[in-house]
């Protein structure tokens, strides 16, 4: 596959930044992309919107999706903006990409290269605004090596879904985890840390940012 021209040395971190419910889920139960018109899918979408509700009022969210002026500022907006600005490239799982491909605007909201971990090869998909999706079919280590080369001194974000994040955590490849805890109880769905056990025991809390909409917890891997 064709990848962008490498930049010099890599100095950035590998990080995760996800919204999580109070009961530990990063997505509701019942997502079936092939049946988006079903009432069950609409209920999934409603619960997902509740989980992510802290993001939608933000000024940065409106700017990034070109929705016009306005929007809230404050700690939530600051975090969302910093997350975007530090990210040199993103790694996604194929299922998350498939959902995004159906929902993203023509100018996808990444504005950097994105590497999609998949078992189904595909030629790169170039979008307006600087986003190109590259499809990697030889594992997470290969995806990370390619992402690091193009990220330069910026960070590599593991964007999800939950299964992909667990693979990176299992492999000890994540330097930092940012969890935005939404005041929502889902009851069922995709648990971020299912089966992880003591494999994240080396993480330590380094920052806490509370807001009325979410509590943002940053964990770093112990040196």
pLDDT, position 201: 66
Q: What is the dihedral of CA 32, 139, 87, 92, to 10 degrees?
A: -10
pLDDT, position 195: 75
> Measured on CA atoms in the order 96, 98, 101, 103, is the torsion positive or negative?
negative
CB 208 within 8 A of CB 181: no
Residues of the chain with pLDDT under 70: 1-11, 31-41, 197-201, 223
pLDDT, position 6: 47
CB 132 within 8 A of CB 3: no
CB 89 within 8 A of CB 112: yes
Domains and CATH numbers, the chain: 14-221 (3.40.430.10)
> Measured on CA atoms in the order 43, 48, 49, 53, is the torsion positive or negative?
positive
Instruction: Write down the number of H helices and E strands in the chain.
Output: 6, 11
**pLDDT tens across 87-102, in order?**
999 999 998 898 888 8
Q: What is the DSSP letter of 183?
A: S
**pLDDT tens across 106-145, in order?**
999 999 999 999 999 899 999 999 999 999 999 999 999 9
pLDDT, position 9: 46
pLDDT, position 104: 87
pLDDT, position 180: 98
Q: Where does the chain show beta strands of DSSP type E?
A: 14-21, 25-28, 87-93, 113-117, 125-126, 132-136, 155-160, 176-182, 189-191, 203-210, 215-221
């Amino acid at each position: 596959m064709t990848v962008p021209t490498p930049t010099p040395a890599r100095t950035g971190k590998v990080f995760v930044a996800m919204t999580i419910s109070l009961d530990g889920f990063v997505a509701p139960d019942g997502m079936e992309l092939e049946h988006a018109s079903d009432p069950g899918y609409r209920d999934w979408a409603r619960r997902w919107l509740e989980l992510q509700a802290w993001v939608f009022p933000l000024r940065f969210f409106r700017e990034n999706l070109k929705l016009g002026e306005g929007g809230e500022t404050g700690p939530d907006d600051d975090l969302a903006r910093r997350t975007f600005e530090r990210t040199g490239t993103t790694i996604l799982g194929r299922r998350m990409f498939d959902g995004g491909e159906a929902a993203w605007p023509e100018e996808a909201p990444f504005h950097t290269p994105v590497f999609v971990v998949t078992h189904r090869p595909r030629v790169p998909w170039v979008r307006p605004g600087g986003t190109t999706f590259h499809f990697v079919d030889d594992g997470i280590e290969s995806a990370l090596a390619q992402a690091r080369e193009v990220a330069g001194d910026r960070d590599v974000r593991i964007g999800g879904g939950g299964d992909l994040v667990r693979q990176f955590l299992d492999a000890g490849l994540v330097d930092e985890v940012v969890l935005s805890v939404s005041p929502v109880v889902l009851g069922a769905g995709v648990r971020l840390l299912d089966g992880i056990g003591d494999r994240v025991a080396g993480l330590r809390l380094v920052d806490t940012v509370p807001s009325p909409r979410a509590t943002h917890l940053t964990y770093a891997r112990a040196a």
